[in-house]
Each structure stands twice: as C-alpha cells, then as structure tokens.
C-alpha cells in the first residue's frame, strides 16, 4: 500500500489538474495501474486481514492433546504446571511425537495467550460459564432446648448448573464465613474459579471511592490459599448475585421450614450434604439436562484443592481483668489467676476460644459463646487458688455447679480436707471431666466419709481399668474343731494310707 502522502498527490493531480496516469506514474516511479487504482478508489475503510491457517502436519494431530494439558494445568498453581519442555518430552514418550522442541514451544506460547484471553472473557458472564459461583447468607428459624432461635446459613450456588451447597452456623462472622466456604470446597474436592460476593463485612472492610475494596486480612489470606478470583457486587445491587439470592429462598423453603430441632450444629450440617446433592436429580429449569449432569461440567472447571486445609482462626492479644477474665465480643471467658490484669494471647475459631501462653501452648479452652453478656468459666486453673481459701468455696459459683455428691462431701469436710480435695480436683481436671472423679467419690462414700487419699486411689483404679477389689466377708460360723484328747491316736491319722518302706 502506498503512503498517505503519495495517495493524496495522485488524487490531487488526477482530480484537480486532470493529469494522466502515465505521467504521474513516471514522476512517482509507480506503475500507471497503481496510480489508476488509488485515483479511482472510493472506500478507504479499514480492511480486516484474513488470517491464513497453514497446515501443520507435525502439530495438527496432537494439538487437542496439548490443549487439554494446558487447560488442566491452568487449574494448578503456576509452580505445579508443566513446562513446554516437559510437554514436549511427554509427547515423545506417550505419542511418539517426532516434532522439535521449538515447534512445541511456539505452539504453546501462542495457545496459552488464546486460552487465557478466552478465560478472561468467560469471567465476564458468571451466570453462563461452568466453574463460577456466588455466595450469600440467609436466616431461618430453629428449635433449641424448647425455644425458637434464628440462625444464619451460608449458601454457595452455581449459576451454570443451578446447584448449591449450604451449611448452618451460629453467626455471620469472619470465622463462620470462611469455615463454611472451606467445608464446601473440601467436600466438593475442588474450588470454583470465580466467586461473586456481596459486600459483607466478613470480607470487605471498606468500599473505596474508585470502586475498589479494602478486604479483611483473613479473607485476603483465604483467597491466596485457595487461588480463586473474588468479585464483588456494586453497593445496593443485589441483582448482580441474583442466582444465590434466589437459592437462599429455595433452601429455606424446601429444607429449613418449619424450624428444625437442633442439638448439635456439626451433626446437623453433616446431613445437609446429601440433601443438596439429592436436589440435583431433577431437570434444569431452562436446559434440557439433569442438574447433576450440569454440575459435573462445573466440577471439571474447578481449581485443584491445595494440599493443606486453611486454618480459619485468628489471634488476638487482650488484657484480662482482676479476676483473670477476658472479653471477646461482649462475652467473658476465664483464663487463670496468674493472668489477672495481664495481657493474654487468644486463638479464635468459629466454635472455640483458646487461651495460650506466649509460645502458643494451650492454657485453657472454651466453647465459643454467641449472644451477649454470657460467661464461660473453666475452673481448673482456679482450684489451686481456692485451695488456699477453702472456707470461701461455698460462696463461689463453682460450688453451685458441683454435682450433689461433691457438695455433700465438702459440707462434711474439715478445712484441711477441703483444701486437699480442691488440689486433687485441680490435678484431675487438667485431663478429665467430673464424671470419673465423681464416680470415684461415690464408691469411696460407700464406706463412710472417705479421706482425699482414698478418693484418689479409687479414681486411679478406675482410669487404669483395674476396678475395685471385692471386700473379704467372714463366714458366719467357724468350722467344727475335733475334741481335744490325750494319746497318740491322733498321729495314726497322719500314717493312714502311707507306704512303709
């Protein structure tokens, strides 16, 4: 193609000065036919260049194999992907490939760009591509200990297949949110490529003016661990995750109403996997396929799970009050008297609060409380302190929580016996609950008011599996003794039946 200046000159000379094509061609050193072409051309719109697909007899038979390998590798972290050299070697080993290393390298370099471009375009439409998901919380009524309570449940839905998973939790905090996602990932055996979220506080600390999000540290680490791409809805735009919002309602109406009786959330959640999977045995509302078949296409597009599960915990340092209690979200947890008015390291998960030493050794563990202004007390660290003030025992809430057998026993103890018994409980409760030591007390009480040493001996017999020795009962009457008489006839009895040599 001629330069723009040359084309302008030709069109000026022909159209304005009526010069002929030959003269202009001589001046420019161009063929008159070329001059004629540009002088008469009417359309200068850009023309699409048609890419010529040249046949490649060496690569064509194995291109689809390389493509499959590249797609498989895209599910892995980069350090786990095959190099072009390794793919070339694998082709030689498994398919007797005769092409060169450079031929494979060139194809892979170009094909990776094409596949990555396709993947980035696919991510624009979450509702229609396999391997993408949406997340949201819902709420439902449950019955616990005769009362009706409201609990949240986390739903992870898959718009392509119209399938879902869900788990029930005591709250919508960071730990429950991440624990729910982790459970679902590991149950499925894979991780969705892209997950769309609302701007929930468990993931987003702040929405910045330019539309970007300042994420919580825990969520950032979780995303890095599992490698998925996170997307967030615009503020007040719930329709951008309309699939999961519809699925939240579907789950509540079909599986959580009327309110379920719940004693243990972990046991309840184990039953929910099967309910979600059984729901897939129906036709998709638009596509003429079972949801279970479409979900397999979702599953094929999932990323590979990392080798280790993410630990959904966080660490905090808080100050204990003068009684050794710490506060986590308006609830109190006991530590140990030695931590009174000192800073304490704690480990927080969705269902536990662990008190740790500076080198992360466990001091005491509590079940995590939900609600407000509740108190969890583990008395074991306080018992040695109580042993120094045994007369104050009756005025503590620990005394009120004791089994009746122990209350009765302490009421009949001297001050020194109370002190020794509290020390024994302090030792035992490091590794055991009240059941065995109370059983030992019951056995020891059968013979009257026992000493602390007696209770201790019975306890260790119980835990070592030796049981309790049976008592020795005297016979009601002694055996009849022969009448004492003089003479040697008694010795004859010894010789009866004896052989005399």
Q: At what angle do helices 32-40 and 4-17 cross, to 10 degrees?
A: 80
Higher pLDDT, 278 or 494: 278
CB 191 within 8 A of CB 327: no
Percentage with pLDDT > 70 across the chain: 86
pLDDT digits (tens, 9 = 90+) for 450-469: 999 999 999 999 888 765 44
CB–CB of 200/177 below 8 Å?
Answer: yes
The burial of 440, by beta-carbon neighbours within 10 Å (0-12 exposed, 13-18 middle, 19 or more buried), is given as buried
**Using one digit for the tens of pLDDT, what is the confidence trace for 305-327?**
988 899 999 999 999 998 889 99
| pLDDT tens readout for residues 188-240 | 999 999 999 988 888 888 888 777 888 899 999 999 999 899 988 876 555 56
* Cα distances (Å, whole numbers) of residue 195 to 3, 135, 418: 51, 7, 60
pLDDT in tens, 334-375: 998 888 899 999 999 999 999 999 889 988 899 999 887 888
Residue 474: per-residue pLDDT: 39
Q: What percent of the chain has pLDDT over 90?
A: 35
Tokens 């070592």 belong to 464
Average pLDDT over residues 242-254: 91
Query: Per residue in 400-430, pLDDT tens?
Result: 878 889 989 999 999 999 999 999 988 888 8
In this predicted structure, what is the pLDDT of residue 498? 45
Give 496's pLDDT tier (boundaries 50, 70, 90): very low
- The answer to whether 87 and 104 have CB atoms below 8 angstroms apart is yes
What is the 8-class DSSP label of residue 191? B
pLDDT value at residue 236: 57
Give residue 123's pLDDT.
42
Contacts of 214 (CB under 8 A, 6+ apart): 204, 205, 206, 207, 208
Name the β-bridge partners of 348.
314, 353
- Whether residue 311 contacts residue 360, with contact meaning beta carbons closer than 8 Å, is answered with no
Which of 99-108, 117-126, 369-378 has the weakest average pLDDT?
117-126
Give Cβ neighbours of residue 157 (< 8 Å, ≥ 6 apart): 133, 134, 135, 163, 164, 243, 244, 247
> Is the pLDDT score of 41 beyond 60?
yes
Question: What whole-number distance in Å separates Cα of residue 76 and Cα of residue 91?
Answer: 20
90 pLDDT higher than 80? yes
pLDDT bin (cut points 50, 70, 90) of residue 488 is very low
Residue-level pLDDT at 500: 41
What's the predicted TM-score (pTM) here? 0.63
Q: Is the pLDDT of residue 78 over 80?
A: no
Write down the mean pLDDT value for the chain. Answer: 83
Q: Which comes out higher in pLDDT, residue 133 or 491?
A: 133
CB 140 within 8 A of CB 150: yes
* Structural contact between residues 133 and 194, judged by C-beta atoms closer than 8 angstroms: yes
pLDDT at 398: 77
**Residues 6 or more apart in contact with residue 240 via CB below 8 angstroms:** 196, 233, 234
pLDDT digits over 47-76, tens only? 555 555 667 788 888 888 888 888 878 777
Kindly state the average pLDDT of the residues 473-501. 48
What is the pLDDT at residue 251?
94
Q: What is the rounded CA–CA span in Å between residue 204 and residue 306?
A: 24
12-21, 110-119, 252-261, 383-392: least confidently modelled range: 110-119
318 close to 344: Cβ distance less than 8 angstroms: yes
Residue 484 burial class via C-beta count within 10 angstroms: exposed 0-12, middle 13-18, buried 19 and up: exposed
User: What pLDDT score does 258 carry?
Assistant: 84
pLDDT over 90 at 432, yes or no: no
Section 370-390 average pLDDT: 83
Residue 473 has pLDDT above 70, yes or no: no
- In degrees rounded to 5, what are phi and psi of residue 4? -60, -40
d(CA 185, CA 303): 10
**Nearest Cα to Cα of residue 333 among 360, 373, 362, 361:** 373
Q: How confident is the model at residue 471 (pLDDT cuts 50, 70, 90)?
A: very low
CA 485 vs. chain centroid, Å, equals 92
Q: What's the pLDDT at 311?
A: 92
- pLDDT band of residue 139 (cuts 50, 70, 90) is very high
At 122 the pLDDT is: 45
């Amino acid at each position: 193609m001629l330069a723009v200046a040359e084309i302008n000159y030709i069109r000026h000379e022909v159209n304005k000065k009526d010069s002929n094509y030959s003269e202009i061609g001589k001046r420019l050193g161009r063929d008159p036919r070329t001059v004629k072409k540009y002088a008469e051309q009417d359309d200068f719109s850009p023309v699409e260049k048609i890419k010529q697909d040249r046949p490649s007899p060496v690569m064509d038979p194995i291109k689809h194999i390389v493509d499959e390998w590249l797609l498989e590798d895209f599910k892995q972290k980069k350090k786990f992907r095959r190099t072009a050299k390794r793919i070339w070697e694998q082709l030689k080993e498994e398919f007797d490939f005769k092409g060169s290393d450079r031929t494979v390298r060139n194809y892979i370099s170009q094909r990776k760009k094409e596949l990555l471009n396709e993947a980035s375009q696919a991510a624009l439409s979450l509702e229609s591509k396999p391997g993408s998901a949406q997340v949201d919380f819902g709420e439902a009524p449950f019955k616990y200990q005769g009362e009706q309570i409201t609990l949240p449940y986390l739903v992870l839905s898959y718009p392509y297949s119209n399938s879902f998973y869900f788990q029930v939790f005591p709250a919508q905090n960071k730990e429950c949110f991440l624990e729910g996602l982790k459970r679902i990932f590991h149950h499925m055996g894979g991780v969705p490529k892209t997950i769309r979220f609302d701007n929930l506080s468990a993931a987003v600390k702040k929405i910045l003016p330019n539309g970007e999000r300042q994420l919580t540290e825990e969520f950032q680490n979780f995303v890095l661990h599992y490698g998925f791409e996170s997307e967030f809805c615009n503020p007040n735009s719930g329709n951008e995750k309309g699939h999961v919002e519809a699925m939240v309602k579907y789950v509540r109406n079909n599986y959580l109403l009327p309110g379920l009786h719940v004693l243990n959330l972990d046991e309840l959640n184990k039953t929910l996997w099967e309910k979600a999977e059984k729901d897939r045995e129906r036709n998709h509302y638009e596509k003429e396929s079972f949801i279970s078949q479409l979900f397999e296409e979702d599953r094929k597009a999932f990323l590979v799970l990392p080798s280790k599960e993410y630990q959904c915990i966080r660490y905090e340092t808080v100050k204990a009050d003068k009684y050794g209690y710490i506060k986590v979200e308006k609830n109190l947890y006991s530590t140990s008297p030695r931590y009174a008015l000192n800073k304490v390291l704690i480990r927080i998960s969705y269902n536990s609060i662990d008190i740790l030493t500076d080198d992360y050794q466990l001091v005491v563990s509590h079940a995590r409380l939900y609600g407000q202004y509740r108190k969890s007390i583990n008395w074991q660290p306080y018992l040695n302190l109580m042993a120094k003030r045994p007369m104050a025992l009756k005025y503590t809430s620990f005394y009120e929580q004791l089994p009746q057998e122990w209350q009765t026993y302490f009421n009949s103890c001297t001050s020194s016996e109370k002190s020794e018994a509290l020390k024994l409980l302090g030792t035992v409760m490091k590794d055991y609950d009240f059941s065995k030591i109370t059983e030992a007390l019951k056995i020891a009480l059968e013979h009257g008011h026992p000493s602390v040493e007696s209770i201790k001996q019975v306890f260790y017999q119980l835990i070592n599996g030796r049981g309790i020795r049976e008592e020795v009962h005297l016979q009601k009457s002694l055996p009849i003794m022969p009448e004492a008489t003089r003479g040697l006839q008694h010795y004859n009895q010894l010789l009866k039946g004896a052989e005399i040599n």
